[in-house]
Amino acid sequence: MTEERVAICGGTFDPFHRGHLEPILQIRSTFSWERLMYLPARVQPFKTAVAVSSPFHRLAMVVLATQDREDIEVSLIELERAGTSFAVDTLEALRLQHPSGIFDWIIGDDNLPQLAEWKSIDRVFQLANFVVVTRGKGIVPAPLLDRVRNANQLSSSGSIYLVETDLVEVSSTDIRNRVRSGQSISNLVDPRVERYIQKHGLYRSEVAV
């Protein structure tokens, strides 16, 4: 019996904002996701030299923004694993927990150019699909072009789906800069996340806490 289809959303989430959730909810019915799983990363492979807030703060903001939704899970699987958070390691662990689950790993089109360079990418495709949230700007690396499928051709693994959405024009970098310069972020993050940022004095300086 086939287990549930799960959307996986990884990232530093520093902070978690509307763009991390709303576009995914827009396309949920297309893929019949029964559950959304957010995975705050300990150290993202392409951000090893970037200072980020503590895992505690980043996890807390994801939990606050999603706590009203029973269909969303916030997983500690990458935070509890030391070192760089590679997708292949995460998927191997998830496969052990859910042997027959179907995993769709969600990325933005800005991550497409380096997708072919992900660690053990062939093994990653054996374990999951990629759903690329895009506004038609996604350029798939040549070695992966044969993996592109239409959303009406759902597979259990090995495919890339390019899905256009009404992307929320926001980035974590922009939010941090706004906080540092005293500008409002109320329309960019969940109110609970905004209060958390204010309470703990996050992003007021260049130094991560």
Domain assignment present for residue 89? The answer is yes
- Across residues 103-130, what is the average pLDDT? 95
Domain-located, residue 190: no
Which has more pLDDT, 76 or 165?
76
In a domain, 102, yes or no: yes
Residue 193 lies in a domain: no
User: Is 129 within the bounds of a domain?
Assistant: yes
HSE, CB side, 13 Å, CA atoms: give it for residue 12.
18
User: Where residue 149 sits, what CATH number does that domain have?
Assistant: 3.40.50.620
Domain count, the chain: 1
Mean pLDDT (the chain, rounded):
92
Residue ranges making up the domain that contains 12: 5-169
* pTM for the full predicted model: 0.92
Is residue 162, in this structure, part of any structural domain at all? yes
**What are the residue ranges of helices labelled H in the chain?**
22-26, 28-31, 55-66, 87-97, 121-127, 172-180, 191-200
- The least confident of 38-52, 87-101, 148-162 is 38-52
> For position 51, what pLDDT does the model report?
77
Structure confidence by residue, pLDDT tens digits, 125-151: 999 999 999 877 678 999 999 999 999
Who wins on pLDDT, 101 or 3? 101
* Cβ neighbours of 87 (radius 10 Å): 25
**57-88 pLDDT per residue, tens:** 999 999 999 999 999 999 999 999 999 999 99
Q: Is residue 189 part of a domain?
A: no
DSSP label at residue 52: -
Q: Determine the Cα–Cα distance for residues 17 and 168; give it in Å rounded to an integer.
A: 9
110 or 1, which is more confident: 110
What pLDDT is recorded for position 49? 55
Spatial separation of the C-alpha atoms in residues 79 and 76, rounded to whole Å: 5
152-158: average pLDDT? 94
Residue 184 lies in a domain: no
Is the pLDDT higher at 152 or at 129? 129
